[in-house]
Structure 1
Amino acid sequence: MQEEAQVLLLPGWQNSTEGHWQTEWEQALGYQRVQQHDWLRPRRGDWCARLEEAVLEAPAPVVLAAHSLGCILVAWWAAHSRHTHKVRGALLVAPGDVEQPGVGELIPGWLPIARQPLPFAATLVASSDDPYCSLERAHELAAHWGARFAPAGACGHMNAESALGLWPQGQALLRPLMNGTSED
């Protein structure tokens, strides 16, 4: 019997607030948020080190549920960690395109975006009207990372303002990743 995976929530810049699907999942489903030292001035090296610690501290295999800058973190961490074997899968939601004009200046130190295929199953969910990443760009990132692409329709940045609540569609996309696959 396969050991149950632990879900680690990886918020983006400024953390996930009340009403964000990650906060809803943490409160209702008991998933663990990876706490970063500085949510307002994120440093890629610091965030990677904290993710590494969280993965190593986890008693079971993990599934990563990332939002926005958290998606960019997963790709960078996976390209540099020797512990990716502990990750069963990743749900990458509304990646924040730090290479988009204006965004890199707001969040310095996150360039370039790692583009290597992820060494675990992944699904990338993107909104057609996300101001921080076009649908075409999200599709391109999914291809680079070897992730299944799942368009979500018009949901904005898929944050608290999007009012997704417990986001059952996201939970359905997470389930197969718990078993190490991106397909049902």
Structure 2
Amino acid sequence: MTSPTILLVPGLRDHVADHWQTLLEAKLPNARSVPPLAHDKLSRAARVAALDEALAGIDGPVILVAHSAGVMITVHWAQTHKRPIHGALLATPADLESPMPAGYPGMDTLSEHGWLPVPHTPLPFPSVVAFSDNDPLCSAPRAAELANQWGSMLVELGEVGHLNPAAGYGPWPMAETLIHTLL
């Protein structure tokens, strides 16, 4: 079998230079990322279309590696697209069905831009939800509930915040380990 392409699906803040996804893309020879949007940055439909376009440019098997709202982009994409996916690492999903902290879009804005409701049906490919015990964007019980609904394996990361630079994460070596479980 051809080695899968690792396609990184960033959250709403797109590419951050010292984010683990950006660093992982630079490290792995078979990794690429969904390009950032120039317009409609908050549109779920535009984000899903960008993921679909990135997938259309890849021949062979793919492992999706999503973070935060990128997880929600991935699960929304999976509801309407049939391209086979080898597996998905869904790291610290953002719970868009609960009010977010200050500085994040509100429930009305998320609904207006097509993010709600979040899909609650099993994913058509193997997946791992990696969650944090102290994520300000998704409680541990909610992450476990989503993983159960999506049919995902659940991996507790401990207290890693939202697994982003603000929580002290640039490199995240465990991502490679979890990707390997999907091979």
Structure 1: which 5+ residue stretches go unaligned? 180-184
Structure 1 position 106, deviation (Å): 5.2
Query: Does the Cα contact within 8 Å between 1:66 and 1:91 map onto a contact in 2?
Result: yes
- AA aligned opposite 2:64: L
Aligned to 2:33: 33
Query: Does the Cα contact within 8 Å between 2:40 and 2:46 map onto a contact in 1?
Result: no
* CA shift in 2, pair 1:149/1:39, >3 Å: farther
Superposed counterparts of 1:104-123, under 5 Å = 104-105=107-108, 107=110, 108-123=113-128
Q: Which runs of 4+ in 1 moved over 6 A?
A: none
CA displacement 1:66-111 (0-9 Å, x = unmatched):
000000111111011021x1x1000000101111124434544200
The question of 1:92 aligning with 2:90 is answered: yes
- AA aligned opposite 2:25: E
Query: Does the Cα contact within 8 Å between 2:78 and 2:124 map onto a contact in 1?
Result: yes
Report the more deviating stretch, 116-125 or 93-102: 93-102
Query: Does the Cα contact within 8 Å between 2:89 and 2:127 map onto a contact in 1?
Result: yes
Structure 1 position 18, deviation (Å): 2.0
* CA shift in 2, pair 1:13/1:150, >3 Å: same
Query: Aligned partners of 1:57, 1:143: CA distance in 2, in Å?
Result: 31
In the superposition, the TM-score normalised over structure 2's length comes to 0.89
Query: Aligned partners of 2:72, 2:87: CA distance in 1, in Å?
Result: 15
Query: Does the Cα contact within 8 Å between 1:91 and 1:122 map onto a contact in 2?
Result: yes
Task: Specify the SS of the correspondent of 2:93.
Answer: coil
Task: Specify the SS of the correspondent of 1:8.
Answer: strand
The question of 1:64 aligning with 2:64 is answered: yes
Percent of aligned pairs with the same residue?
Answer: 35
Aligned to 1:128: 133
Aligned to 1:182: none
Aligned to 2:19: 20
Aligned to 1:158: 163
- AA aligned opposite 1:130: D
Aligned to 2:9: 10
- AA aligned opposite 1:55: L
Size of the aligned set, in residue pairs, is 175
